[in-house]
Amino acid sequence: MNPMLPAKLASITLLAALLVPAAVWAKSSDRNQPMTIDSTNSDCNFSDNGKCQFSGNVVITQGTLEIQADTADVIQKNGETERVIFTGKQARLKQQMDDNTWMNARADNMDYNVTSEVIVLTGNYNVESDRGTNAGQRMVYNTRTGAMQSGGDGTRVRTVIQPKNKAPAAQGEKK
């Protein structure tokens, strides 16, 4: 396996954690942990313009980060990772944040373009954390600028933003 591949995958998957409204950050210590990729099959071409495909119950773990997908395709261009595509019914990502809360995301397809630093979630995506949720059919997120666009394809998007200081009901209070 290309020694740079796990580092590139780590960067890509950690950036997916930025998809939650209110800018929740991934556990910073995760990027210093070893990455493990388990799958039923792997088919890799390590040429400058090659592709590596992991398939069959793909599970990628690094610290608190866990991604599950039917397939994970890593596409190289000129010796650098250009794109990583996770597919499944559904591809799932979960990670603990620095504030010890959890972020969960799922979509039929998670396509990260390393060159443009844009990740596109399509097919019944849902991103949730304690701070809020965003769901729909298509989300485009620029990890460099923080810009996020959802919808625009004729379907509805639902965003729920939780209050900053959401306190549990006091004992004996009616909800």
Residue 167 in any domain: the answer is no
Longest C-alpha distance within the chain, in Å?
65
- Is 122 a domain residue? yes
- Number of domains composing the chain: 1
Model pLDDT, residue 71: 96
CATH number of the domain residue 139 falls in:
2.60.450.10
Could you read off the pLDDT of 66-100 as tens digits, one per residue? 889 999 998 889 988 788 899 998 999 888 877 88
Instruction: Note the residue count of the chain.
Output: 175
- Residue 52 C-alpha from the chain's centroid: 19
Other CB atoms closer than 10 Å to residue 52's CB: what's the count?
21
d(CA 1, CA 8): 12
Residue 173 pLDDT exceeds 80: no
The answer to whether residue 65 sits within a structural domain is yes
Domain extent for 53: 4-161
pLDDT tens-digit readout, 7-45? 444 333 333 333 333 333 456 777 677 778 899 999 988
Measured between alpha carbons, how far is 8 from 116 in angstroms, rounded to an integer? 14
Residue 146 lies in a domain: yes
pTM here is 0.70
Residue (of 53, 21, 24, 20) closest to 39 by Cα position: 53
